[in-house]
Amino acid sequence: MAIEDTGYLSINELKCRQKLPGEARYEKGPVAVIECVQEIPCNPCEAACPKNAILIGEPITNLPVLDEDACIGCGICIAKCSGLAIFVVDKSGKDSTGKGKVSFPYEFYPLPQKGDKVKGVNRSGEIVCDAVVTSVINPKSYDHTPVITIEVPVEWADEVRNMKAAPSNEPESDDDMIVCRCEEVTLGEIRQAIREGARDVTGVKRRVRAGMGLCQGRTCEKMVQQILCQELGLSPDQVGKSSARPPVRPITFGRLAKGEVE
């Protein structure tokens, strides 16, 4: 899938366009990664850089080019990019236990706090790894674009570009709502199945029987899909549906044996 289909640059596309710093630069410390593809009149990043490491020049529709050696990874450009396309990645492991760090703009409430255990999310919005928030910077000069830094396993540092608050284990008020009526499965049980690793409709089905009753998921399957999408930040395509299994409607074994189907 290319950017035309997804709206973001895949890791291979970034490599082809030489947007990712080389390993040698990564070793030296934090560095900006500019994943901008918008050839529009826009240059706040160029003006924001205190080291003059970002060049757009003339015409103003040029894509920004980073001088990796001049960049100190301060992260000011992150908040200034109106397209939220700049990140700072630190794979040097200099100030921690071999972990990588990723800084990104985060325009959501509630803001996380330093020390929160969260989930690292990749460019397509999928949760890919565990992460810990190491800083939340939100000065007035950032103009409502807080910059969050999270610590992730270093092999995920080129993939993770955002975070999602880890699902809390606190009971929610609608947890006792019945979703699958045939098997009497509640929303809370489905959430629990998701916390235990279910990532698609059949995964939920196997864990809590939602969709295994008389109606075969006709009533609840769409809701189960929706819950999965909400909890995991996935699209309906990604959570799939259950396999179609005949008979379409209940039929007695007596009629089935005789092949009596209307």
User: 134 vs 216, which CB is nearer to other proteins?
Assistant: 216
Under the binding rule (CB under 8 A), the answer on residue 98 touching other proteins is no
Number of other residues whose CB lies within 10 A of the CB of residue 179? 25
Under the binding rule (CB under 8 A), the answer on residue 199 touching other proteins is yes
Under the binding rule (CB under 8 A), the answer on residue 100 touching other proteins is no
187 φ, ψ (degrees, to nearest 5): -60, -40
At closest approach, how far in Å is the CB of 21 from other proteins?
Answer: 20
Locus of tokens 């979703």? 179
Scan residues 139-178 and list those touching other proteins (CB under 8 A): 155
At closest approach, how far in Å is the CB of 242 from other proteins?
Answer: 10
User: 148 vs 198, which CB is nearer to other proteins?
Assistant: 198
Under the binding rule (CB under 8 A), the answer on residue 256 touching other proteins is yes
Segment contacting other proteins (CB under 8 A): 4-12, 80-88, 108-116, 204-212?
204-212
What does the block give as tokens for 106?
Answer: 């985060």
**CB burial string 244-258: b at 16+ within 10 A, e below:** eeeeeeeeeeeeeee
Under the binding rule (CB under 8 A), the answer on residue 253 touching other proteins is yes
- Of 20, 22, 4, residue with least CA distance to 12: 20
102 φ, ψ (degrees, to nearest 5): -130, 130
Contacts of 124 (CB under 8 A, 6+ apart): 6, 8
Segment contacting other proteins (CB under 8 A): 8-16, 136-144, 207-215, 220-228?
207-215
Cis peptide before 247 (omega within 30 of 0): yes
Segment contacting other proteins (CB under 8 A): 11-19, 58-66, 168-176, 213-221?
213-221
Amino acid in the structure at residue 146? P
User: 45 vs 160, which CB is nearer to other proteins?
Assistant: 160
Residue choice 97, 141, 169, 252 for contact with other proteins (CB under 8 A): 252
Residue choice 16, 60, 177, 214 for contact with other proteins (CB under 8 A): 214
Under the binding rule (CB under 8 A), the answer on residue 202 touching other proteins is yes
- Of 238, 112, 104, residue with least CA distance to 168: 112
197: left (phi over 0), alpha (psi -120 to 50) or beta: left
State the number of binding residues for other proteins (CB under 8 A): 28
Cα–Cα distance for residue pair 92/100, rounded to 1 Å: 7
Using CB under 8 A as the criterion, which residues of the chain lie in contact with other proteins when the complex forms? 155, 183, 196-200, 202-203, 206-207, 209, 212-214, 216, 243, 245-247, 250-254, 256-257, 259
